[in-house]
Amino acid sequence: MIQLSHVSKRFGDQEVIHDLSLKIPQNETIVLIGPSGCGKSTLLRLMIGLLVPEEGKVSLFQQELTSENIESVRQKVGFVLQDGGLFPHLTAKQNTCLMAQFLGHETNWINSRLSELRDLTHLSDAVMDRYPNQLSGGQIQRVALMRALMLDPDILFLDEPLGALDPLHRVGLQEDMKTIFTQLKKTVVMVTHDMGEAASLADKIVLMREGRIVQFDTLTNLSTTPADPFVTTFINAQRKPWQHLEDQIK
Amino acid sequence: MIRFSKLALVIGLSLFPLFLSAETDKTIKVGSKKFTESVILGEVITQHLQSNGLDAVHQDQLGGTRLLWKALLQGEIDLYPDYTGTIIHEILRAEANQSIPDLKDALAKQGIILADPLGFNNTYALGVTQATAEKYSLNKISDLFQYPELSFGFTNEFMDREDGWPSLRDHYGLPQSKVRGLDHDLAYKGLEAGSIDLIDLYSTDAEIDYYQLHVLKDDLHHFPDYHAVILYRQDLLIQHPSFESLINKLTHIFSDSLMTTMNSAVKIGGETEALIAQEFLSTQFNTNSKIETPGLSSRLLQSTREHLFLVLISLSAAILVAVPLGVLGARNPASGQIILGIVGIIQTIPSLALLVFMIPLLGIGGPPALVALFLYSLLPIVRNTLSGMADIPQDIRESALALGLPSLSRLKLIELPLATRSILAGIKTSAVINVGTATLGALIGAGGYGQAILTGIRLDDTALILEGAVPAALLALLVQSTFDLFERFFLSPGLKSTQESVS
């Protein structure tokens, strides 16, 4: 589904991604995690062509990203940013429907898709007529999620979608996201620095450090067979990474 | 934004016919310079032609000698009054003390006929107040040599004319360094107030008597004669065979004292040039021509029409050009610097210089004024479009890219709407500046509120200055509030401040 081979990315003199190769399988939720500056957000942006690598190849849907195919490829993926990235001059509804209208979908189709997504993200009809500056942080992220899902994309990219939220809203949205990912069975690539989120949402985790992948594995394998002492250090540094497992056991 | 540009274009084009003047090619256009004597002479010529059955209009108070001469060569005007000294030094740049037949020959080569002198000599002179004259015992120009501390205030034209200050200084070896250029009508005020000691004069100026000025004798004979003459285009003789004899009726009938009296009647007595010209012609030829003096309301209507024409057309054109330039600059920062640089340089070109450059291309009247206003309106719009686009946050740009919107659609659906507020602010600044700058249209015969201001300054008539300045200020306010309303209706509520939009 997503394939990177020998990708390097520099900003000026600084190389932020070093000769990185990665293959992300279909219909799994993959979390990119690591300390600040490890290159996880850069890696995500390389995957949707917001950044272009100096070396190596990035392919989505078995085709290499080029300036010719980038727009059509992007119309088959969804993207949610940390602050939502909603367009401030458009209402929640206009934000959500922008691309569908641009691509000429029928009004009936758009409206039924909109109500499906509202049920999924638990947003009221009234909220949809508001502008982003009239929405709470949690509502903004839910609208951003609706916008990303509107055209039923094959892949969903999320860059720290919960990063800017207070703990209460964070937990609520995290639970809803978990339900949505399970229901929709999409390929999801999400960046976070929070091990709790990763533990709750990820099928597999890509743990990064200084522009390289340290280990790409399930949470269980990361803890039982760490590839490097750093893996154990990183996992243990996080608050209650096992909380959700304990909850399941109970 | 795009909707607005279309709107502006439609409004501009639909208003255009309203402003087209009724003048035809057959109309004889009389020009005059922007000082009272020239305007009176222009009025005399115009009324004389009219009372003899010719269709003539007076384009009064045009910028200066070079502007009028170019306009005459281009056929933008057909005739105007000038002075022999000016023709020698400014137009032909020839040897001094050429005879009138010599000048006639030289001008004929350029298709211009020089009529015989009107009968008076309005030469340059230097004047001081009686008090200054007594204090330094000044009687002749060479007396100035001993007093380098004296400060001089000269008309800008005198400052750089061939026969003006530079050659006067060399001729007499004058040591003064405090020399300023200023408007002739303001110079008298400065002299009276004591902020300058000496000014240049025209020897037929009404103010010499009024302010009781002491005229210094040109003892080393620097200033040439300035016999007033009429210059006209040869091709007038083909269209109007009687033209030569009509013009010749005006020659040799003036005198220095008569001209000084006429100047005084306008400048000190407060009469209109048209009335003085009419009185002169009726005494001279027993004619009974009627002059129409338009009332305040019809004058205002006329100048408002002319002013709106200048502002609306030039601003619409500036919006249509400057917004795309700003977008281009924002998309490509390297070209953005170049665009801003060029537009910034244009802004620094002095308006009169710009107008003079354009006469060979566009003549006089509306077109050169429109182009100048258009050029001066570009900078605020380009700069605000550029910064409005550049200020769009990174995450919004990434969002738009990640949705897969093509470049033009991103511009139309996301970037331009987000930059609207900044672009509107730029247009608002441009519009207000434009309303003010459009008063310079009067210098080149495009009319507008500047006409009243120019005449008011020349005649020291505060009421007349206000007749131009007050409507111009009101128009600026109106333009400002129109754009404020526009912003209220067209700007997305999501872009207004939170308090406003939550309510």
Residue B9 domain flag: no
Please check whether residues A130 and A66 belong to one and the same domain.
Answer: no
Residue B8 domain flag: no
pLDDT tens figures, B133-184: 888 888 888 888 888 888 898 888 788 777 788 888 888 888 888 888 887 7
Of A94, A122, A152, the last residue of a domain is A152
Structure-model confidence comparison of residues A195 and B381, the more confident one: B381
Please count the residues of chain A: 250
- Please give the Cα distance from B127 to B149 (Å, whole number): 16
Q: State the amino acid at position B384 in one-letter form.
A: N
Q: Among B317-321, B326-330, B456-460, B469-473, name the one with the lowest average pLDDT.
A: B456-460
Please check whether residues B128 and B116 belong to one and the same domain.
Answer: no
Flag whether pLDDT at A183 surpasses 80. Answer: yes
Q: The domain spanning residue B478 has which CATH number?
A: 1.10.3720.10
Surface-to-core class of residue B293, CB atoms within 10 Å of its CB (0-12 exposed, 13-18 middle, 19+ buried): exposed
Overall average pLDDT of the B194-209 stretch: 85
Flag whether pLDDT at A68 surpasses 60. Answer: yes
Residue B71 domain flag: yes
Of A152, A187, A204, the last residue of a domain is A152
Residue A181 domain flag: yes
Please check whether residues B110 and B234 belong to one and the same domain.
Answer: yes
Overall average pLDDT of the A184-196 stretch: 87
**Alpha-carbon B402 to chain mean position:** 54
Taking the Cβ of residue B137 and every Cβ of chain A, the question of whether any pair is shorter than 8 Å is answered with no
Please check whether residues A248 and A192 belong to one and the same domain.
Answer: yes
Q: Is-contact A50 B398, C-beta < 8 A? A: yes
A2: which 2 tokens? 């997503």
Taking the Cβ of residue A52 and every Cβ of chain B, the question of whether any pair is shorter than 8 Å is answered with no
Q: Is-contact A133 B503, C-beta < 8 A? A: no
Please check whether residues B165 and B138 belong to one and the same domain.
Answer: yes
- Please give the Cα distance from B448 to B305 (Å, whole number): 7
Confidence at residue B15, expressed as pLDDT on a 0 to 100 scale: 47
Q: Is-contact A22 A213, C-beta < 8 A? A: yes
A189: which 2 tokens? 């690539």
Measure CA of the first residue to CA of the last residue in chain B; give whole Å.
26
**What is the distance in angstroms between the Cα of A227 and the nearest Cα belonging to chain B?**
34
% of chain A at pLDDT higher than 90: 7
Overall average pLDDT of the B304-315 stretch: 88
Show the domain range for B38: 24-121+226-285
Cα atoms in the Cβ-side hemisphere of radius 13 Å centred on B122 = 28
How many A×B Cβ pairs under 8 Å?
75
Please check whether residues A132 and A65 belong to one and the same domain.
Answer: no
Q: Do A98 and B413 touch (CB under 8 A)?
A: yes
Burial B361-374 (b: 16+ CB within 10 A, else e): ebbbbbebbbbbbb
The one-character DSSP state at B142 is: G
Flag whether pLDDT at B385 surpasses 90. Answer: yes
Rounded to the nearest integer, the mean pLDDT of chain B is 83
Helix (H, G, I), strand (E, B) or coil at B268: coil
Confidence at residue B42, expressed as pLDDT on a 0 to 100 scale: 93
Structure-model confidence comparison of residues B63 and A32, the more confident one: A32
A198: which 2 tokens? 């990763």
Q: The domain spanning residue B28 has which CATH number?
A: 3.40.190.10
The one-character DSSP state at B213 is: P
Residue A215 domain flag: yes
Task: Tell me which chain B residue has its CA closest to the CA of residue A70.
Answer: B404
Q: Do B402 and A83 touch (CB under 8 A)?
A: no
> Sorting pLDDT into bands at 50, 70 and 90, what band is B381?
very high
Residue B485 domain flag: yes
Cα atoms in the Cβ-side hemisphere of radius 13 Å centred on B347 = 16
Please check whether residues B323 and B196 belong to one and the same domain.
Answer: no
Please check whether residues B260 and B152 belong to one and the same domain.
Answer: no
Please check whether residues A107 and A135 belong to one and the same domain.
Answer: yes
A46: which 2 tokens? 């390389």
Which residue matches tokens 């802004």? B347
Residue B11 domain flag: no
The one-character DSSP state at B167 is: H
Please check whether residues B459 and B489 belong to one and the same domain.
Answer: yes
Residue A166 domain flag: no
Number of folded domains that form chain A: 2
Q: Among B98-107, B229-238, B286-295, name the one with the lowest average pLDDT.
A: B286-295
The residues that bridge with A80 in the sheet, in sequence order, are A158
Which residue matches tokens 């190596």? A56
Residue B19 domain flag: no
Angle, vertex CA B79, rays to CA B78 and CA B83, nearest 5: 155
Please check whether residues A70 and A187 belong to one and the same domain.
Answer: yes
Structure-model confidence comparison of residues B269 and A44, the more confident one: A44
pLDDT tens figures, A121-146: 888 888 888 999 888 888 898 899 89
Q: Among A122-136, B14-28, B271-285, name the one with the lowest average pLDDT.
A: B14-28
Show the domain range for A138: 83-152
Please check whether residues A62 and A186 belong to one and the same domain.
Answer: yes
**Highest mean pLDDT, choosing among A212-226, B7-21, B354-368, B418-432:** B418-432
Of A122, A152, A182, the last residue of a domain is A152
**What is the distance in angstroms between the Cα of A72 and the nearest Cα belonging to chain B?**
7
Residue B313 domain flag: yes
% of chain B at pLDDT higher than 70: 91
Please check whether residues A125 and A6 belong to one and the same domain.
Answer: no
> Sorting pLDDT into bands at 50, 70 and 90, what band is B21?
very low
> Sorting pLDDT into bands at 50, 70 and 90, what band is B13?
very low
> Sorting pLDDT into bands at 50, 70 and 90, what band is A56?
confident
Flag whether pLDDT at B95 surpasses 90. Answer: no
Please check whether residues B332 and B416 belong to one and the same domain.
Answer: yes
A6 phi, psi to nearest 5 deg: 50, 50
Q: Is-contact B205 B47, C-beta < 8 A? A: no
A83: which 2 tokens? 């602050």
Helix (H, G, I), strand (E, B) or coil at A137: helix
Confidence at residue B497, expressed as pLDDT on a 0 to 100 scale: 64
Complex prediction ipTM: 0.84
Contact residues, chain A, for B492 at CB < 8 Å: 88-90, 131
- Please give the Cα distance from B260 to B58 (Å, whole number): 22
Of B191, B216, B241, the last residue of a domain is B216
Please check whether residues B314 and B411 belong to one and the same domain.
Answer: yes
Rounded to the nearest integer, the mean pLDDT of chain A is 85
Residue A163 domain flag: no
Q: The domain spanning residue B152 has which CATH number?
A: 3.40.190.120
Contact residues, chain A, for B399 at CB < 8 Å: 79, 81, 85-87
> Sorting pLDDT into bands at 50, 70 and 90, what band is B324?
very high
Please check whether residues A71 and A134 belong to one and the same domain.
Answer: no
Overall average pLDDT of the B406-427 stretch: 89
Q: Do A85 and B398 touch (CB under 8 A)?
A: yes
Please check whether residues B52 and B158 belong to one and the same domain.
Answer: no
Residue A164 domain flag: no
Please check whether residues A126 and A18 belong to one and the same domain.
Answer: no
Q: The domain spanning residue A226 has which CATH number?
A: 3.40.50.300
Nearest to B58 by CA among B228, B273, B208, B267: B273
Taking the Cβ of residue A134 and every Cβ of chain B, the question of whether any pair is shorter than 8 Å is answered with yes
Residue A136 domain flag: yes
Please check whether residues B93 and B185 belong to one and the same domain.
Answer: no
Residue B2's alpha-carbon distances to A137, B7, B323, B425, B478, in angstroms, are 32, 9, 9, 16, 23
Of B256, B285, B314, the last residue of a domain is B285
Please list the alpha-helical segments (H only) found in chain A: 40-47, 70-74, 92-102, 107-121, 125-128, 137-149, 167-184, 195-201, 219-224, 229-237, 243-249
Please check whether residues A72 and A88 belong to one and the same domain.
Answer: no
Please check whether residues A65 and A181 belong to one and the same domain.
Answer: yes
Burial B219-236 (b: 16+ CB within 10 A, else e): eeebbbebbbbbbbbeeb
Please check whether residues B268 and B377 belong to one and the same domain.
Answer: no
B97: which 2 tokens? 């003390």
Please check whether residues A63 and A95 belong to one and the same domain.
Answer: no
**pTM tops 0.80:** no
Q: State the amino acid at position A23 in one-letter form.
A: K
Please check whether residues B157 and B271 belong to one and the same domain.
Answer: no
Number of folded domains that form chain B: 3
Rg of chain A (C-alpha set): 18
